[in-house]
Amino acid sequence: MPAVSKGDGMRGLAVFISDIRNCKSKEAEIKRINKELANIRSKFKGDKALDGYSKKKYVCKLLFIFLLGHDIDFGHMEAVNLLSSNKYTEKQIGYLFISVLVNSNSELIRLINNAIKNDLASRNPTFMCLALHCIANVGSREMGEAFAADIPRILVAGDSMDSVKQSAALCLLRLYKASPDLVPMGEWTARVVHLLNDQHMGVVTAAVSLITCLCKKNPDDFKTCISLAVSRLSRIVSSASTDLQDYTYYFVPAPWLSVKLLRLLQCYPPPEDAAVKGRLVECLETVLNKAQEPPKSKKVQHSNAKNAILFETISLIIHYDSEPNLLVRACNQLGQFLQHRETNLRYLALESMCTLASSEFSHEAVKTHIDTVINALKTERDVSVRQRAADLLYAMCDRSNAKQIVSEMLRYLETADYAIREEIVLKVAILAEKYAVDYSWYVDTILNLIRIAGDYVSEEVWYRVLQIVTNRDDVQGYAAKTVFEALQAPACHENMVKVGGYILGEFGNLIAGDPRSSPPVQFSLLHSKFHLCSVATRALLLSTYIKFINLFPETKATIQGVLRAGSQLRNADVELQQRAVEYLTLSSVASTDVLATVLEEMPPFPERESSILAKLKRKKGPGAASALDDGRRDPSSNDINGGVEPTPSTVSTPSPSADLLGLRAAPPPAAPPASAGAGNLLVDVFDGPAAQPSLGPTPEEAFLSESWERWGRGMRTGAHPGHPVPLPLPPRFVCKNNGVLFENQLLQIGVKSEFRQNLGRMYLFYGNKTSVQFQNFSPTVVHPGDLQTHILSGLGQPPTKRVAAQVDGGAQVQQVLNIECLRDFLTPPLLSVRFRYGGAPQALTLKLPVTINKFFQPTEMAAQDFFQRWKQLSLPQQEAQKIFKANHPMDAEVTKAKLLGFGSALLDNVDPNPENFVGAGIIQTKALQVGCLLRLEPNAQAQMYRLTLRTSKESVSRHLCELLAQQF
Amino acid sequence: MSWDEFGECMRFMLLFSRQGKLRLQKWYLATSDKERKKMVRELMQVVLARKPKMCSFLEWRDLKVVYKRYASLYFCCAIEGQDNELITLELIHRYVELLDKYFGSVCELDIIFNFEKAYFILDEFLMGGDVQDTSKKSVLKAIEQADLLQEEDESPRSVLEEMGLA
């Protein structure tokens, strides 16, 4: 083709464009344009009929003016006139103008549609293509209504030219996307699938896009395309680099078509037909193999096209997520790219690995690249690449590498680009929470976040740290100490003041013993920040101050002075003024007891989805946080507030209001002995009536908790009173008899127990961790309706001493329970402990570590006996089975110890597979004995277990299975 | 309506100069004029601020932008999340090759003065944001035919007439 100067067809246009380019200023340009517009308008309005050429030229000028960014409000009619010209170039300009400048003037649309209709019917392929392009470019509903029925016909007509078929396929695709309801499905859909076999590669390329779209909406109707796509793909990837002639791009055969076919296959699960699947796997392997071959050209186009197919192949492998072999190969391939000199490849490898990280098969393989990824975060010069690296670190994070990743991200945050700081902050906050093993690390991390990037720490993040500190009493002292230190920095971020104010108000007492952080020091430190803070922060600090009056009576006078100051009492801000007035009055009129109740420590927060995670999802769209969400690849994950392995101290002392509600739902007091026969365990509460839980709050308590609630609402929305559910039994107590059952900052409860046959004895130790006496201390054993426990006091320990009404500061008291199992049972007995601390009523309820397996009698037997009994227990309801993911490392010795702790005998040489565990035992109750057989099959590769229990009693099988399954 | 559920496609393609002059814009999803201007302005700023050697992909709004600079011109495509970046990069390259073949060593001026041709070539290559044909021959044949038609159509005109003064 000659390199003609194609533009000189319209010299006037060229002159005009030159003029515009020569304009020295915007004003000059506008002036020139206005002159031209006036000229064109007069031509269009003039009496002299314009010929096609002039019309084309002026329409083209208008188009140029429009594309410069100016508004065009005339010329549409002239453009429409051009559509019906029989000169190709005039028609072409007309269509271009319509495509770029169409408006929904219905009169005009009718005329345009008319012209299109004529062109579609013209049987001139060039005109037909122009018309199809116009429909696709405009893609409006009106056009869909007019043509959606015609285009499928053109697409599958035997006599349509290839170029027309190509345009028809993509035009139909466009209409289908815009208004799927307008495109009638029918006989053509079956034929469209067979375009995958078309001889003309261009037709296949265009058709695949349409088919992919149809598959997404109607996967079942288009299933036949899977095998066609696989064989087409197979032919391409196995062809030599020049076989496909013009469809070979820099020695890569048909890269666009390959990518599109691989995308099409991603609409479906792996092929069911073994032959098709085999062929496809072969294709995928070929692509992976080719990546290792030396390049056929040094041109970047060659490697880009080749790698485009490779990345799409990896996407398909990830989509299937079923071929561990391919996943690991993909991961290795991407690993090579992580160090490639092409920035683009490094970027894409990081991005693609992110999805691989969420597959259980490749998560570990991805983790091996952690150092390279961290290095990328530090050294990449392009922020987009660094961001991918941060995303990947987030995705590959689990308990094993959380500390390293979080610290690297924190370091990165110091120099991170402003645009992505907030996201990094959210990610760090989520990881720190999700993988915290010790919560002091979590607190340090969040405080570091505030220090490094305080402006980017959103409310969600600092609310969350408060929620967690409130719910985790093992970290409260540390948190108080740490915020106190952080606040000593001369310039600290306002978010730090908020967190510090809140935490000291709640837990400042925990560090008040140290003279360096005595109450007056704490107060003056906080108050030194007060005047520099916003209204919201000052309001929060005022609440801290009133809490200080309760925690530290010695600060009362100082704080009242501050509240009384004119700057507070007459503050222009109504919120500050109101708080000052109310708090001042409260501190003056309320008795110490009332104050203590009103200003009680905040109750634990109910667990919901982490607000930070929700925020990240909002930011990144659904799916962004899914890697963390599903927890599939992280069996050891432990939610901070009651995850799979709640520690006994997850819930702090319930507030008075929680207690109030609690009585409505809490277990009823010990049933009278008359009804004992109905239960499964016998209960006899030896204590006097004082030990019975009170039936309701005193009026005073009711009033106080109500006012507490009001105050709580005023102070902080979203604070809910804790729920009265008993604390869950830590799963480790199923297999263990001794340990710390509960601990918060006031009280520790330890347990020691022993069981023989259907009898048990349990020693409970109550330790007062404070320096203040507990009053009205009353631990009682209560039980859910279907359960009775037989409790007797130990010999030689008079009840009054055993459960002393007072427990001195630092002292420990002991209680002995004798337990007899009468029948099998499901729910452990409950221990309810109530006392007053510093005038405030405290109450908590927890489950005692008495589970049915405690009454296990191990039974040794030979393989033959075992199998005989196993067969005898073959009714479906006698068996309970669970298949579950390992929550702990799969160590055979640990497993053995747990099974023995569970109570059954372990039988060697029974299971033909030495990896499996088999056990037997008898549950001893007074009323009956239940024989139990169990089998545990670990699958180290899948990190799964299968547990099967067979007993003579359905409920026992199920319950034992539940209990035991939590252990692994 | 989200297009994701139907499979991905290109949202728009822009050509602009290093000086920030827009040379070509093609939108594949209905977008208001005001919004277009805003997006163009914003995106040009982002892309022009990037240094050479940086990677050719960036996340922008909810889109992925693939761009490449050829001499004084930036070619810039916005695609959706799941789209293949590398093949988009080569799609840009193929378009540049088509322009080059057609104009013969294409330069920015060719595109300025023959903007309508640049659009026609793009339309032959992409339709609705999807590749219609990747063969250079097929695409150029279509354009060539059109040119032949054009040459048959047109008889020479005087300069004065061209200037609109006749």
* The pLDDT value given to residue A785: 41
Which residues in B lie closer than 8 A to residue A137 (C-beta atoms)? 123, 128
Q: Within this chain, do residues A870 and A765 fall inside the same structural domain, yes or no? A: no
Chain A residues touching residue B54 (CB < 8 angstroms):
343, 381-382, 384
Query: How many Å is the maximal CA-CA distance in chain A?
Result: 124
Q: How far is B46 from chain A (nearest CA, A)?
A: 12
Q: Show the tokens assigned to B60.
A: 């922008």
Mean pLDDT of all residues belonging to chain A: 80
Q: Is A809 within the bounds of a domain?
A: yes
Report which of A53, A124, A122, A128 is spatially closest to residue A93, judged by C-alpha positions: A53
Residue to test with chain B: of A4, A18, A39, A89, most B Cβ within 10 A: A89
**CB-based burial label for A213 (10 Å; 0-12, 13-18, 19+):** buried
CA dihedral (A238, A156, A193, B7) positive or negative: positive
From the list A64, A132, A307, the residue facing B86 with the nearest CB is: A307
Mean pLDDT of A309-323: 93
Query: Is the pLDDT assigned to residue B61 strictly greater than 80?
Result: yes
Is A679 among the domain residues? Answer: no
Percent of chain A past pLDDT 70, that is, above it, reads 84
Higher pLDDT, A190 or B158: A190
Instruction: Mark whether A841 and A859 lie in a shared domain.
Output: no
The residue among A336, A335, A331 whose CA lies nearest residue A317 is A331
The answer to whether residues A789 and A834 belong to one domain is yes
**CB A131, CB A116: distance < 8 Å:** yes
Per-residue pLDDT tens over the stretch A272-285: 999 999 999 999 99
CA–CA separation, A574 and A568 (whole Å): 10
A243 token code pair: 């076989």
- Measured between beta carbons, which residues in chain A are less than 8 angstroms from residue B86? 304-305, 307-308, 311, 344, 348
CB contact A50 to B (< 8 Å): no
Sequence-distant (6+) residues with CB within 8 A of A908 are none
pLDDT of A266 > 50? The answer is yes
By the 8 A CB rule, do A653 and A844 touch?
A: yes
For A450-453, which contacts have Cβ atoms below 8 Å and span 24 or more sequence positions?
A450/A486, A450/A493, A450/A495, A450/A496, A450/A499, A451/A486, A451/A489, A451/A492, A451/A493, A451/A496, A452/A410, A452/A413, A452/A414, A453/A413, A453/A416, A453/A421, A453/A424, A453/A425
Q: Rounded CA gap, A76 and A108, in Å?
A: 8
Domain range B12-163, its CATH number among 3.30.1540.20, 3.30.450.60, 1.20.200.10, 3.90.70.10: 3.30.450.60
Tens of pLDDT along A2-61?
A: 334 444 467 888 999 999 999 899 899 999 999 999 999 998 888 778 888 888 999 999
H helix intervals, A68-124: 76-83, 88-101, 106-121
In three-state form (DSSP H/G/I as H, E/B as E, the rest C), the secondary structure along A831-893 is EEEEEEECCEEEEEEEECCCCHHHHEEECCCCHHHHHHHHHHCCCHHHEEEEEEECCCCCCHH
Provide the Cα torsion A307, A310, A311, A316; round to 10°. 160
| Same-domain check for residues A841 and A864 | no
* A630 pLDDT higher than 70: no
Q: What are the Cα distances from residue A138, in Å, to A108, A244, A460, A889, B12? A: 13, 34, 44, 60, 14
**How do strand B57-60 and strand A929-939 relate by DSSP bridges?**
unpaired
- ipTM attached to this prediction: 0.90
Could you say which of A849, A876, A906 is where a domain stops? Answer: A849
- As to burial, measured by CB atoms within 10 angstroms (0-12 exposed, 13-18 middle, 19+ buried), residue A870 is middle
Same domain for A928 and A944, yes or no, is yes
Query: pLDDT: is A821 or A675 the higher one?
Result: A821
Q: CATH number for the domain including A786?
A: 2.60.40.1230
Domain closes at, from A599, A615, A631: A599
Can you give the pLDDT at residue B157?
46
Shared domain check, A896 and A782: no
pLDDT (mean) for B8-18: 89
Region A555-570 average pLDDT: 87
Query: Stretch A810-818: mean pLDDT, rounded?
Result: 81
Q: Which residues of A touch B55 (CB under 8 A)?
A: 343-344, 346-347, 382, 384-385
**Residue at a domain's end among A599, A615, A634:** A599
Beta strands in A465-565, from DSSP E residues, in sequence order: none
CB atoms under 10 Å from CB of B34, counted, come to 8
Point out which residues pair with A253 in neighbouring strands: A248
What would the two tokens of residue A363 be? 């998560």
By the 8 A CB rule, do A637 and A644 touch? yes
Q: Which among A1, A174, A387 is the nearest to B128, CB-wise?
A: A174
Residue A777, classed as helix, strand or coil, is: strand
Residue type for B72, please?
S
pLDDT of residue A766 exceeding 80, the answer is yes
In a domain, A221, yes or no: no
> Minimum mean pLDDT among A147-161, A288-302, A791-805, B94-108: which range?
A791-805
A837 plus A869 within the same structural domain: no
Task: Write out pLDDT tens, residues A671-698.
Answer: 333 333 333 443 333 333 333 333 333 3
**A859 and A809 belong to one structural domain:** no
Q: How far apart are CA A58 and CA A347, in angstroms?
A: 47
- Sign of the torsion formed by the C-alpha atoms of A521, A525, A526 and A530: positive
In this predicted structure, what is the pLDDT of residue A672? 37
- Going by pLDDT thresholds of 50, 70 and 90, the confidence category of residue A786 is very low
Does A81 fall in a domain? no
pLDDT digits (tens, 9 = 90+) for A878-911: 888 888 888 888 888 888 888 888 888 888 878 8
**Lowest model confidence (mean pLDDT) among A101-110, A129-138, A191-200, A487-496:** A101-110
Residue A566 lies in a domain: yes
A527 pLDDT above the threshold of 90 = yes
Q: Do A747 and A813 fall within a single domain?
A: yes
Q: What is the pLDDT of residue A196?
A: 93
Q: What is the largest CA-CA distance in chain B?
A: 56
Assign A486 a pLDDT band (cuts: 50, 70, 90). Answer: very high
Three-state SS across A182-213?
HCCCCHHHHHHHHHHHCCCHHHHHHHHHHHHH
Q: Is A58 annotated as a binding residue?
A: yes
Beta strands in B80-164 (DSSP E): 126-127, 130-131
Phi then psi for residue A832, to 5 deg, are -115, 125
In a domain, A332, yes or no: no
Q: What is the rounded CA–CA span in Å between residue A338 and residue A389?
A: 10
Q: End-to-end distance of chain B based on CA atoms, in angstroms?
A: 51
> Measured between alpha carbons, how far is B29 from A137 in angstroms, rounded to an integer?
9
Q: Is the pLDDT reported for residue A624 higher than 80?
A: no
Check whether residue A936 and residue A841 sit in a common domain. Answer: no
What tokens does A114 get? 């008319």
Tell me how many degrees the CA angle A620-A624-A626 measures, rounded to the nearest 5.
Answer: 150
Residue-number span of the structural domain to which A815 is assigned: 730-849
A53/B149 touch (CB, cutoff 8 Å), yes or no: no
* Contact at CB, B5 and A217, closer than 8 angstroms: yes
Classified as helix, coil or strand, A224 is coil
Alpha-carbon gap, residue A480 to A292, rounded angstroms: 57
Give me A279's structure tokens.
């062929």
Same domain (yes/no): A836, A742: yes
Here the tokens at position B25 are 């814009």
- Residues in chain B with CB shorter than 8 Å from the CB of A247 are 134-135
Cα(A723)–Cα(A719) distance, rounded to whole angstroms? 12
Residue A709, domain member (yes or no)? no
Judged by CB atoms closer than 8 Å, whether chains meet at A11 and B157 is answered as yes
**Mutation for testing the B interface, residue in A54, A95, A177, A214 having most B CBs under 10 Å:** A177
Domain count, chain A: 3
Whether the per-residue pLDDT at A631 is higher than 70: the answer is no
CATH number at residue A890: 3.30.310.10
pLDDT band at A803 (very low <50, low <70, confident <90, very high): low
CA dist., res. A520 & res. A555, Å (int): 6
Q: Contacts by A510-518 with C-beta closer than 8 Å and gap 24+?
A: A510/A476, A510/A477, A510/A480, A510/A481, A510/A745, A511/A477, A511/A480, A511/A481, A511/A484, A512/A551, A512/A552, A517/A481, A517/A484
Mean pLDDT of A329-356: 92
A57 is in an annotated binding site: yes
Mutate to test the interface with A, among B35, B66, B153 (most CBs of A within 10 A): B153
* Domain match, A913 and A956 both: yes
Instruction: Tell me if A568 is assigned to some domain.
Output: yes
Whether B125 has a pLDDT exceeding 50, the answer reads yes
The least confident of A240-244, A548-552, A681-685 is A681-685
Task: Please name the member of A6, A139, A174 whose beta carbon is closest to the beta carbon of B114.
Answer: A6
Give me the pLDDT at residue A694, please: 35
**Token pair of A616 as six digits:** 């990240």
